[in-house]
Chains A and B, each alone.
Chain A
Amino acid sequence: MKPLQRILHVEDDISIQEVAKVALEIVGGFEVTSCDDGQSALSRADAWQPDLILLDVMMPGIDGPTTLGKLREQPSTQAIPVVFMTAKVQPSEIEHYRAIGALDVVIKPFDPMTLAEQLRRIWEQHHV
């Protein structure tokens, strides 16, 4: 199994970007690139080819689910796994995100000390 290394984090809130960077880079030891909207995520994912995209659901402009759709249309990003991040917790919504192709959903607010571990677990579950 290929280990999880490169994570693209898409999030419009700079504060959350920064805390996630600490959580993933320093605590988790991943390589992280952040961008703050769906549009730039499309080009960044194409150019940087991350192992996984951590995608915020609610964003101004194009939102998370729409971004996911567009990633799936782009051949170069078609196969990159996407994990949604959302502050909504209704089980029906989580099911919905899985149905449209998300690997899993991470609930906001996340704990910066365990976020990396959570992603690693999701990664392993889906590659075993």
Chain B
Amino acid sequence: MSDIDVQARLAALREQYSRRLIDDLQTLMAQSREMSARQSGVDFAALDVLRQGLHRIAGSAGSFGYTALSRDAREMEIWLQTALENTNPPTPPMLTALHDRLQDCYRALESPPLSEVDEPQGSYYLASGDRAIRVAVLADGDTETLIQSLSGFGYECRQLSGALDPHRTWSSWHPDIAIVDTAKVAEEIWKPAMEAVPEAALIMLSAESGFEARLNAVRHGAQGFFTHPVDVPSLEHRLRHLVNLPQQDPYRVLIVDDDIELAEHFRLTLKMAGIESRVISDPQDVLRGLRDFVPDLVLIDINMPGCSGPELARIIRFDDDWLKIPLVYLSAESDAHRQAQALALAGDDFLVKPIADVALVAAVTARAQRSRQLSLALARDGLTGLIKHPAIKELIELEMARGQRTDTAACVVMIDIDRFKSINDTYGHGTGDYVIRLLANLLRQRLRRVDHVGRYGGEEFVAVLPSCSLENAREAIERIRVSFSQLECVAATETFHATFSAGVASTHEWSDAETLLEAADRAMYEAKQGGRDQTRIAVPPR
């Protein structure tokens, strides 16, 4: 195996180890803090636990490239060892000093900025890379509304008329996506045009909505199918899905098997297929493994000493947090009756050993995919696909904690569609929903990948922008506000324009998620009172 492979393997192991290290250091910090706060006598047993933790880090970190950390941990271990052997136990100030030193190690570990924080501030023009995504629309007649709407989302659009010789223009412009209106343009025209740009994804618009029309689209290789009149938010959603498709995180599988060689073989097989896994050989470590690794699926050996697979599956199912994760048994057991018994206790499926590598990968991929879709769906709002209210609050807390660690500020933006009730009353609830989806998609499209957007209530949204100054946040939201007010909303008989009001607050000024959200909310109300269709910044009381 080449040196590059070795380095790649070591880098992968280092990454895995660093996650564990963060946890271990946090535990040690908590232990030392607790001990330094103790009023009554010294707990020698607890000190020894701390020493063992340091010993583990001292002996392992260096093998993963964390040489300085190994050295630090060794020094702390020796210091504690001496204290333990000494008749004069460590005083609370000494333990506080130990805690502070651990905290320094922890900070040093985290200090290479997280990739999210790397993102340049204020890069709010387009979320999708260096250039705008190019959309070619091949249609005759009036596509102005469609092109205007898509341009409002940040796509670069060009209309190409079927009457012109289209493929010459297409091939030099390199569209990412081609939207073909099959109701208006004949197949003889659009087919050669598509052949000139084989890398572009095809979306078909059709006058027919029946099964035949859809089948025809599939057979032409279309990756999207819409009927007239086109629902712009759905179309936009599909476009974004198409261009973002390859960026999914790898699936994660936790393998619980006491046969380490076999487990290691599974791990490598899955790794070759781009699936990350972690091996646990002692069933007792499974809960910790779930917490640390947060897998999409767990593979469990059915026969393990001390705790059988079905017993372990039931232990996992005690915890509501892991209800949605598929538990799949791996077993040499081919007896259908005994398999059924195991499944009756807990668990979702069986894979019988020996299993071909291809079959393992296929089985794991299908179930992990399903599991991930499900957990995404559970945390997201049905209408907009945005994060739901409770989840966004957790995110704000996380961002505040991250901001404190990295000494950067995050901003929270509260957004409310203006006169939404009158939109509903005038055009009906269907149109109201359409406007909500339009704004949801626009926010997703225009904010950075690191930003979070949630639906807070009926027509209210909240965006969390990490590593972002108040001024940058205000500018970004202002640009989105202007774009939104220019988008044409399509109701049954007419088109109209909608606007929103926004309030921005920074984590610099407020200390917890609750008051931060309230401040952003107050600023948003000030924007409403100031005449709507504007953005206000929350000013802390002096």
List residues of chain A with CB under 8 Å of any chain B CB.
13-22, 26-27, 33-36, 58, 86-87, 108-113
Contacts and interface: CB of A to CB of B under 8 A. Distances in A.
Contacts of A111: 62-63
For the complex of A and B, 9 pairs with smallest distance between CB atoms: A109-B62, A87-B59, A108-B59, A109-B63, A15-B17, A22-B9, A26-B1, A19-B63, A109-B70
Contact of B260 (A16, A35, A58): A35
Interface residues of B, number: 28
Given A15-B20, A15-B64, A109 B260 contact: no
B10 interface: yes
B156 to A, nearest CB: 47
A70 B10 CA distance: 34
Contact of A26 (B6, B58, B63, B282): B6
Contacts of A86: 59
B45 to A, nearest CB: 16
Contacts of A17: 260
Given A13-B60, A35-B260, A112 B10 contact: yes
Nearest to B6: A26
B281 interface: yes
Contacts of B61: 109
Given A19-B63, A33-B261, A34-B260, A13 B56 contact: yes
Contacts of A27: 6
B231 to A, nearest CB: 50
B11 to A, nearest CB: 11
Contacts of B74: 87
A77 to B, nearest CB: 19
B183 interface: no
Contacts of B490: none
Contact of B60 (A16, A21, A35, A36): A16
B17 A109 contact: no
B46 interface: no
B55 interface: yes
B170 to A, nearest CB: 49
Nearest to A15: B17
A94 to B, nearest CB: 15
B363 interface: no
A21 B58 contact: no
A14 B286 CA distance: 13
B13 A22 contact: yes
A32 to B, nearest CB: 10
6 contacts: A13-B56, A16-B59, A17-B260, A22-B9, A34-B264, A109-B67
B5 interface: yes
Given A112-B10, A113-B6, 19 more contacts: A15-B16, A15-B64, A16-B63, A18-B16, A18-B264, A22-B9, A22-B10, A26-B6, A35-B260, A36-B282, A87-B58, A87-B59, A108-B58, A108-B62, A109-B58, A109-B60, A110-B63, A111-B62, A112-B63
Contacts of B1: 26
A116 to B, nearest CB: 11
Taking each of B1, B16, B55, B281, which has the highest tally of chain A beta carbons within 10 Å of its own beta carbon?
Answer: B281
B280 interface: yes
Contacts of A108: 58-60, 62-63
A110 B62 CA distance: 7
A19 B20 CA distance: 14
A105 B10 CA distance: 24
Interface in B42-72: 55-56, 58-64, 67, 70
A87 B55 contact: yes
A14 B289 CA distance: 12
A15 B267 CA distance: 13
B20 to A, nearest CB: 6
A33 B264 CA distance: 11
B279 interface: yes
Nearest to B278: A14
B59 A109 contact: yes
A112 B261 CA distance: 20
A113 B20 CA distance: 22
A19 B17 CA distance: 10
A13 B70 CA distance: 16
Taking each of A17, A20, A27, A109, which has the highest tally of chain B beta carbons within 10 Å of its own beta carbon?
Answer: A109
Interface string B1-39: 100011001100100110010000000000000000000
Contact of A14 (B6, B261, B280): B280
B266 to A, nearest CB: 14
Contact of B281 (A19, A36, A110, A112): A36
A83 to B, nearest CB: 15
